[in-house]
Amino acid sequence: MTARHVWHASTDESTWARGAAGALRDALVAALARSPRALILVSGGSTPAPVHRALAAEQLDWSRVVVSLVDERDVELDADGSNARLAAETLLTGAAAAAEFWPLRPAHAVLDAAVQAANARLRAASGTLELAAVVLGMGEDAHTASLFPGSRGLAAALSTAEPYAAIDAQGCAGAGRWPRRISLTPAGWAGAPTRLLLLRGGAKRSVFERAVNEDALHAPVRAALDVGSTPLHVHWCAA
Ligand SMILES: O=C1O[C@H](COP(=O)(O)O)[C@@H](O)[C@H](O)[C@H]1O
């Protein structure tokens, strides 16, 4: 049976960030050889900034790259907690500023309308834009892509054929101040030939190891192992 995940361990931030960024560069280069444009979907939160900075320093035809998000909070683009803001500050810099950026939740948008617009945008672009890579994160409650255990909309998001879904994580501690989310679904990440999960620290390693043996309703990150024809690459940094 094919391994469902491949574990890449690093002891320091720089090695970890360069390793993950190199894998993403390779995925983008391969997609750009097949398609006029390549799409990469990135996460937010406290983990990915060093990988974003390392990726932004890679030599690529950034003008043919589209950057968008795995998930977003129901906030304005420049708000505290906006994943779009994190991408703008850490990834869309230097040469990478030539990439086109697609926010998930445009200014003043209503969340459900933003979900429908994101799904329609992906459908419309499918002939000329290849999904090259998806970069997931994980919280200590085993959520990924804003798919929180116990959230309203989780079961539907896990089974829909649409790439994005709305999630209401009211009452889920891991969602913090931002319970209303737009989430990439398993159907959304299934088509990406390269799927990375970025993790740091011993606590997240333990959560992931437990999640491997749980179901996706209790540990949504588990769904990242269950779909797609290629294994999930977990890039873990001990520090
Ligand atoms: O809410 C979110 O949490 C996860 C994990 O965040 P972290 O701060 O523990 O790294 C993140 O992947 C996701 O994009 C974000 O919206």
pLDDT digits (tens, 9 = 90+) for 118-135: 999 999 999 999 999 999
Ligand 1 site, residue 45, Cβ cutoff 6 A: yes
For residue 238, name the pLDDT band (cuts at 50, 70, 90).
very high
Instruction: Say what percent of the chain tops pLDDT 90.
Output: 97
Q: What pLDDT does 228 receive?
A: 83
Q: Which atom of ligand 1 sits closest to the CA of residue 45? A: 8
> With 60 as the cut, is the pLDDT of residue 2 above it?
no
State the Cα–Cα distance between residues 193 and 132, nearest whole angstrom: 6
Helix (H) or strand (E) holding 116: helix 111-125
Ligand 1 centroid–CA 137 distance in Å is 6
Indicate the number of domains in the chain: 1
State the Cα–Cα distance between residues 213 and 208, nearest whole angstrom: 9
Average pLDDT over residues 25-46: 98
Return the C-alpha torsion angle 139, 236, 137, 65, nearest 10. 170
Range of the domain at 131: 5-237
State the Cα–Cα distance between residues 180 and 222, nearest whole angstrom: 22
159-173 pLDDT, tens per residue?
999 999 999 999 999
Best residue among 80, 138, 181 to mutate for probing ligand 1, ranked by most atoms within 8 Å of CB: 138
ipTM of this complex: 0.98
> With 90 as the cut, is the pLDDT of residue 61 above it?
yes
Pick from 104, 102, 122: nearest CA to 114: 104
Q: What pLDDT does 3 receive?
A: 65
Q: What pLDDT does 227 receive?
A: 87
| Other CB atoms within 10 Å distance of the CB of residue 178 | 18
For residue 1, name the pLDDT band (cuts at 50, 70, 90).
very low
Contact 102, 68 (CB under 8 A): yes
> With 70 as the cut, is the pLDDT of residue 174 above it?
yes
Which residue has the least CA distance to atom 2 on ligand 1? 45
> With 50 as the cut, is the pLDDT of residue 102 above it?
yes
Ligand 1 centroid–CA 42 distance in Å is 11
Order of strands, sheet of 71-73, starting from the edge strand that comes earlier in the sequence? 71-73, 180-184, 164-168
Ligand 1 centroid–CA 174 distance in Å is 9
Question: The domain that contains 213 carries what CATH number?
Answer: 3.40.50.1360
More confident residue, 3 or 234: 234
